[in-house]
Structure 1
Amino acid sequence: MRFIRKSISVIEREIELSKLVHDMRNSVGHNIFVFGSPYHSNLGDQAQSYCIERWASTNYPGHRVWVLDTMLLTFHDYQLLKSIRNIIAPTDRIFLHSGYHTTDLYMLEEKMQRKVVTMFPDMRVVILPQTIYYQNPSQLEQAKIIYNAHPDLHLLCRDDVSYETALQEFPDCHPAMFPDIVTTMIGAKLYTHPRKGIFLCVRNDKEAFYSKTRMEQLRDDLASIDDVTVGDTTVDIPAKEIIAHRGEVLEKTWDDYSKYRLIVTDRYHGTIFSLVAGTPVLVLSSSDHKLSSGVKWFPPEFSDYVKYIPDIDDVPDEARRVYSKKLDYVLPPYFQDKYYSKLKQLIVD
């Protein structure tokens, strides 16, 4: 029975690929390819896909935007990528999905990224904002050889540590600093819900810095201030369902975040989601530089709404400080205006 289910799954995927390639042929020369979107239930990564598609559709009218996930792209030894290689035209455009892909922590995404860079040496390839981090020197050396060899690769970095790494290790890749694209949603929404309680948005994976026991203690400490709800940006909804209803799922999530008076998180996208909702957020450390560097993007006018807390013991006092402030819970569209309204002109021919 397992073999039959697997066979049906493979046949369905083959049919899906065949239809995709057929439709791509019909819009050759007017395709925007976004390679490496997520096929999992982390809403932060899904929000990147949502915002990339939104940005591309706005900036390339008349083009068809294809947001293609890593599982689909790596299926059957990169069958879909090979088909696209056969039909792509010089006026099509290639983007690699933003996130934590330029790393050896998640090798599926890194290998897919390397494959695209290797297969399309004649096309401009733009890698959307990345966190860059390698534990294994040999993996870094392989990445350097592949990325620096591409004649027209543009690598955007979403924090200063990644940018410094790119300048040193990937100097031929036009490194540039650019914030995470989900920041374009900050200032795009206005919420007027009554605000109550604290949301503790914490991760439980290899990037976690604090133990589960320490987070439970923090929850108990915050409960002396107000009701505490614990959750994460990774949710219990199948990835396929999220992808099919990405906009609705994200809109509901941001609406939920807007009902809290304070959010405490060790998630980078938990931080951004809080600010989309206009909710003050205290930012904890993760196991790498992603959060400590990422919060540096926020300008002084955001100071009442976001603060990095390097010592978790200081969180309860900071939470009380936030509770003592009178806020209007409204933020400007700073990142859209300052950065993403100008991205296209930076990467045009």
Structure 2
Amino acid sequence: MTSKSNLVLIAELQDMIHDCLKDYVSGDEPVAMVDFPDYKNVGDSAIWLGQMAYLSSRFDKAPTYISSLQDHSHEKLNEAAPSGPILITGGGTFGDIWSGHQELRESILERFPNRLVVQLPQSIHYKSQDHADRMARAIAKHKNFVLLVRDEESKAFAEKHFDCRVHLCPDMAFGIGPIQPLAATEFPVLAMLRADQEKASNYDFSAYPDVPVEDWISESRTPVRIAKALGAAKAVVSLDPERIRGAKLNAAAHNRFRRGIRQISRGQAIVTDRLHVHICALLLGRPHAVLDNSYGKVRRFMNAFSGGTDLSYKAESLDDGIAWARSQAGLGAAA
């Protein structure tokens, strides 16, 4: 594969996203967007902001209904957006690892059998065939479900098990576009590794005392609360409860995303097993070595879309990734 700049890659992937969605979203109809990620993982906030940026840049619109897993209401959705597509947030929750999000997805299909429901780009992973069969039955009953997936393996699984339209589509975080660092460089190499149930290994950093090891799923609640309050205050003049709630949630996503970008910006080169650290590093133009998560999600996405740039390196091991990152930071293989 010929290497390309991150700017060229980002533009190409944005066009691919539009090719997948242009037949399902229009400027005339309202849009509902559900499953806002009101939690600490920065990557999911990046997805959300990319979705919002896509609607704004391509259709000059915002959703008329927004909900999170905690506050979703089928009745309020129907009141605020009685027609038009229902968009379900993309990510890595399609399957049975993150059950709450899957249950919301299935309940939407059951409650809105006559509405177009579009699942924005997801990676699919089921541990139980029974759970996959349950989703297949929900899709078969619905008849108007569109499933966007982020890798070839998910596409093959969906086409085999689900009776719906399936499209291979890049991650929506690319809708954000190129971004600038938000902090000064502090470390030649920074490791950003999962600390949740998708981690592939408990990596041993005893040989690398100079490499900080962090994740981005912890946060102080106060800045997020303040961001939500300020976002709601800016929208209060509208007197529209749905618009106020949407502004509050969007402000939280921006706060979390900025936190993650500040964190990544501190590394001259990155080692990561998080898909959205990889994607955000591409948006930043920052070199990074990539390990995989527990079920191959990161490597599958790189193979489908984002592996064609010199900024990213598919590391075979932690040692391999750190050695490559050191070379990108102008260091030797050992500190």
Normalising by the residue count of structure 2, what TM-score does the alignment of the two structures yield?
0.75
Alignment check: 8 A CA contact 1:101 1:113 kept: no
Match runs of 1:119-198 below 5 Å: 119-170=111-162, 172-189=163-180, 196-198=187-189
Alignment check: 8 A CA contact 2:188 2:329 kept: no
Counterpart of 1:312, as a letter, is: L
* Higher RCO (Cα < 8 Å, 6 or more apart): 2
Judged with a 3 Å threshold, the aligned counterparts in structure 2 of structure 1 residues 262 and 104 are, in CA distance, closer, same or farther, namely: same
1:221 corresponds to which residue? 207
Counterpart of 2:161, as a letter, is: E
Say whether residues 1:202 and 2:199 are aligned partners: no
Counterpart of 1:139, as a letter, is: H
Counterpart of 2:300, as a letter, is: S
What are the ranges of 5 or more consecutive residues in structure 2 without an aligned counterpart? Answer: 1-27, 228-248
Q: Distance in 1 between matches of 2:53 and 2:87?
A: 14
2:261 corresponds to which residue? 254
Counterpart of 1:95, as a letter, is: L
Deviation beyond 6 Å, 4+ runs, structure 1: none
| Residue deviations 1:275-308 (CA, integer Å, cap 9, x gap) | 22211111112110201212221253x1x21112
Q: CA deviation at 1:101?
A: 2.3
Alignment check: 8 A CA contact 2:151 2:168 kept: yes
Judged with a 3 Å threshold, the aligned counterparts in structure 2 of structure 1 residues 200 and 188 are, in CA distance, closer, same or farther, namely: closer
Matched positions, count: 279
Alignment check: 8 A CA contact 1:121 1:151 kept: yes
SS at match of 1:135: coil
1:10 corresponds to which residue? none
SS at match of 2:294: coil
SS at match of 1:288: coil
Q: Distance in 1 between matches of 2:282 and 2:81?
A: 39
Q: Distance in 1 between matches of 2:174 and 2:277?
A: 11
SS at match of 2:114: coil
Q: CA deviation at 1:84?
A: 2.7
Counterpart of 1:202, as a letter, is: L
Q: Distance in 2 between matches of 1:115 and 1:194?
A: 45
Q: Distance in 1 between matches of 2:192 and 2:185?
A: 20
1:268 corresponds to which residue? 275
Q: CA deviation at 1:314?
A: 2.1
Alignment check: 8 A CA contact 2:55 2:61 kept: no
1:93 corresponds to which residue? 85
Alignment check: 8 A CA contact 1:53 1:67 kept: no
The counterpart of 1:230, out of the listed 189, 213, 221, is 213
Q: CA deviation at 1:177?
A: 0.7
Q: CA deviation at 1:234?
A: 1.0
Alignment check: 8 A CA contact 1:284 1:310 kept: yes
Q: Distance in 1 between matches of 2:45 and 2:161?
A: 29
SS at match of 2:254: helix
Judged with a 3 Å threshold, the aligned counterparts in structure 2 of structure 1 residues 107 and 245 are, in CA distance, closer, same or farther, namely: closer
What are the ranges of 5 or more consecutive residues in structure 1 without an aligned counterpart? Answer: 1-28, 74-79, 326-349
Q: Distance in 2 between matches of 1:192 and 1:114?
A: 41
Q: Larger deviation: 249-258 or 139-148?
A: 249-258
Alignment check: 8 A CA contact 2:269 2:326 kept: no
Alignment check: 8 A CA contact 2:32 2:86 kept: yes
Say whether residues 1:110 and 2:102 are aligned partners: yes
Say whether residues 1:318 and 2:314 are aligned partners: no
Q: Distance in 2 between matches of 1:137 and 1:64?
A: 34
Q: CA deviation at 1:52?
A: 1.2
Say whether residues 1:287 and 2:294 are aligned partners: yes
Alignment check: 8 A CA contact 1:34 1:67 kept: yes
Judged with a 3 Å threshold, the aligned counterparts in structure 2 of structure 1 residues 294 and 152 are, in CA distance, closer, same or farther, namely: same
| Residue deviations 1:138-196 (CA, integer Å, cap 9, x gap) | 111110111133222110001121111111111x3211111111123353447895574
2:306 corresponds to which residue? 298
Q: Distance in 2 between matches of 1:206 and 1:194?
A: 30
Say whether residues 1:43 and 2:26 are aligned partners: no
Q: Distance in 1 between matches of 2:94 and 2:166?
A: 13
Q: Distance in 1 between matches of 2:133 and 2:289?
A: 36
Q: CA deviation at 1:65?
A: 4.0
Q: Larger deviation: 260-269 or 311-320?
A: 311-320
Judged with a 3 Å threshold, the aligned counterparts in structure 2 of structure 1 residues 89 and 245 are, in CA distance, closer, same or farther, namely: closer
Q: Distance in 1 between matches of 2:323 and 2:307?
A: 23
Q: Distance in 2 between matches of 1:158 and 1:62?
A: 24
CA RMSD, Structure 1 to Structure 2 (Å): 2.5
Alignment check: 8 A CA contact 2:193 2:214 kept: yes
Judged with a 3 Å threshold, the aligned counterparts in structure 2 of structure 1 residues 259 and 311 are, in CA distance, closer, same or farther, namely: closer
